[in-house]
């Protein structure tokens, strides 16, 4: 076994990109101020960086899994321009009121349930005690708490400054 590393779990919409409601296409995608720089800082500090994102827009038929995959490639390209990368990603297209039948369910990956985080913890060697989640809603923080990691509520602004404050709080300034 390798050495475990701390991880930063990031919600996507409202943390990495501006939340414009059901962002499923590159034309709708705009990075939050400081997002690429924040992820680059986390990469340089040795953090695994994971995205955990509810994507009910797929279940509601606003965009497809292929659209989501294309947008993920676009996001990765924008991040790479700032020497930043995502190590892994989980998304949950399921919703109890989804319009597309195959996505209509209460799913253990849908936040505030911790399923996406727990799956990543199972797949990677993560130092849980040094890990945290940043989300833009209470359900994100609840998901982190249920998975046994610290959760931070990002209310907007510059993500790099927010991440720096978390790292400082953790004694990693």
**Residue 92 is assigned to a ligand binding site:** yes
Structure token digits, residue 133: 């989640």
Cα 31 to Cα 49, 74, 78, 144: the distances in Å are 16, 11, 8, 23
Cα–Cα–Cα angle for 145, 50, 106, rounded to 5 degrees: 55
Identified catalytic residue from 13, 87, 140, 150: 13
Q: Is 11 annotated as a binding residue?
A: yes
Assess whether 13 carries a catalytic annotation.
Answer: yes
Catalytic residue among 11, 28, 87, 119: 11
Check whether 13 is labelled as a binding-site residue.
yes
Is 28 tagged catalytic?
no
Q: Is 127 annotated as a binding residue?
A: no
C-alpha dihedral, 134 to 136 to 141 to 144, nearest 10°: -40
- Residues of the binding site for Zn(2+): 92
Binding site listing = 11, 13, 92, 136
Detail the residues annotated as belonging to a binding site for Mg(2+). 11, 13, 136
So which residues are the catalytic ones?
Answer: 11, 13
């Amino acid at each position: 076994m390798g050495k475990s590393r701390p991880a930063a779990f990031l919600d996507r919409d409202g943390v990495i990109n501006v939340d414009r409601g059901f962002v499923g296409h590159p034309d709708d995608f705009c990075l939050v101020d400081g997002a690429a720089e924040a992820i680059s800082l986390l990469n340089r500090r040795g953090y695994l960086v994971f995205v955990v994102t509810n994507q009910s827009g797929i279940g509601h038929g606003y965009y497809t899994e292929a659209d989501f995959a294309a947008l993920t490639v676009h996001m990765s390209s924008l991040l790479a321009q700032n020497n930043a990368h995502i190590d892994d990603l989980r998304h949950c297209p399921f919703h109890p009121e989804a319009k597309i039948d195959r996505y209509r369910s209460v799913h253990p990956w849908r936040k505030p349930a911790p399923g996406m985080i727990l799956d990543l913890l199972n797949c990677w060697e993560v130092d849980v005690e040094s890990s945290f989640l940043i989300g833009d809603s209470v359900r994100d923080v609840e998901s982190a708490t249920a998975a046994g990691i610290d959760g931070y509520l990002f209310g907007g602004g510059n993500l790099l400054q927010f991440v720096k404050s978390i790292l400082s709080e953790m004694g990693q300034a």
